[in-house]
Amino acid sequence: MTTEEFQPKIVAFICNWCTYAAADLAGVSRLQMPPNVLNVRVMCSGRINPMMVIRAFSQGADAVLVSGCHMGDCHYITGNYYARRRLLVLKSILTGLGIEPERFRVTWISAAEAQDYQRTITELVESVRKLGPLTMFKEGETVARESAGCVEG
C-alpha cells in the first residue's frame, strides 16, 4: 500500500457544546473535509478518560483528536482545564513511546469556528496520511506470537 492510497482511521472525541457545534456548522456550511474522521460526541472534554484514547489507538485508530471549548468557555466551567492537563501528560507518554505527536491532537474549537475545525481535520488527515498506519499497537489477531514472555524467536 502506498502512502497516497492510505486512508487513515481517525477518532475524534468532540465536546457537545463547542466543537460538535463547530463540526455541525462546518457541515451546514458545506466546508470540504476528508471523510476519514469518526466523530464521537461527548458532553465535555473533561469526560475523556485517557484510557479512551489508548483504547482507540489499540483498536486500530491511526490518530486521535480531542477537541473541546476554549479555556474559560467550558460549559461546565473547568472541565477542559482538567482535560488539558491529563491529556497532555498522556501525549507526552505516547510521544515518548514513539507515537508521533501528530497522531494525538488536543485542540479547542468554539461553536463559531467551523473553519478552524475544517483546517484542523484537514491538517490532521494530511499529516497522518504522510506518516502511514500506526504500528505501535498491533491488533491482537495479527500478532503472530501468542506466547508473550516465554519463548523468543
Partner 1 sequence: MSVIRITADTMEQALREMGDVRVLVPSGAGRKGTYVELGPDKKLPRECGDHTKPSSPPKGIVFPNNERLLSYSLGVKGEISVKGADHSQKMTILYGTPPCDTASFRALDAALLKDIPEPGYARKRDNFGVVGMACGRQGRWCLCTSVGLSPRSTEGADIMVFPDGGDILVQRLTGKLDRLWKILEAGAKTVSDHELSSVAHKYDFKVENFAFTAEKLAGALEKGFESPYWKEFSERCVSCGICTFLCPTCHCFDIIDVPADELSGRRVRTWDTCQFPEFTGETSAHNPRKEKSTRQRQRVLHKFLYHYQNHGHMMCTGCGRCIRYCPVDINIAEGVMKLGGVK
Partner 2 sequence: MRDYRAETSALRQLCAGLLEKGTVDVVVAWTEGEDFPRVREMAIWKDRADLVQTITWSPFCTTSTVTYLKKNKAALAGKKIAVVVKDCDFQALNVLLQEYFVKRENMVIIGARCDGLAEADMFPRPQGPDTAMTSDAEGVHLGNESRRWEDFGFTCCLTCSYDHMKPDHTVGEYGRKKSKTEWKHLSRILAQGPEERREHYSAIFEACIRCYACREVCPVCACVECAIDPGERAITPRTPPADKANAPSWASRERHISENAVYLTTRAMHMAGRCVRCGWCERACPVGLPLMDILDLTNDAVGRIYGYETGKDPSAAPFLVSYAESDPDDKGAHQ
Nearer to partner 2, 95 or 115 (CB): 95
Nearer to partner 2, 112 or 123 (CB): 123
Nearer to partner 2, 38 or 71 (CB): 71
Q: Is position 40 an interface residue for partner 2 (rule: CB under 8 A)?
A: no
Dist CA 153 CA 145 (whole Å): 9
Nearer to partner 1, 28 or 148 (CB): 148
> Do 100 and 10 touch, CB atoms closer than 8 A?
no
Secondary structure class of 12 (helix, strand, coil) = strand
Binding partner of residue 151 among partner 1, partner 2, none, CB under 5 to 8 Å per kind? partner 1
Q: From the list 38, 43, 77, 93, which residue makes contact with partner 2 (rule: CB under 8 A)?
A: 93
Cα 15 to Cα 18, 24, 68, 144: the distances in Å are 6, 12, 5, 38
From 41-49, 78-86, 114-122, 143-151, span contacting partner 1 (CB under 8 A): 143-151
Reading the block at residue 59, the C-alpha cell is 483498536
Q: From the list 85, 126, 130, 133, which residue makes contact with partner 2 (rule: CB under 8 A)?
A: 85
Which residue is it, cell 473547568? Answer: 78
Reading the block at residue 16, the C-alpha cell is 457537545
φ, ψ for residue 56, nearest 5 deg: -60, -45
Write each residue from 42 to 61 as x if it is in contact with partner 2 (CB under 8 A), else as -, in one continuous string. --------xx--xx--x---
Provide, rounded to whole angstroms, the least separation between the CB of residue 5 and partner 2.
Answer: 22
Q: How far apart are the first and last CA of the chain?
A: 27
Site residues, partner 1 (CB under 8 A): 140-141, 146-153
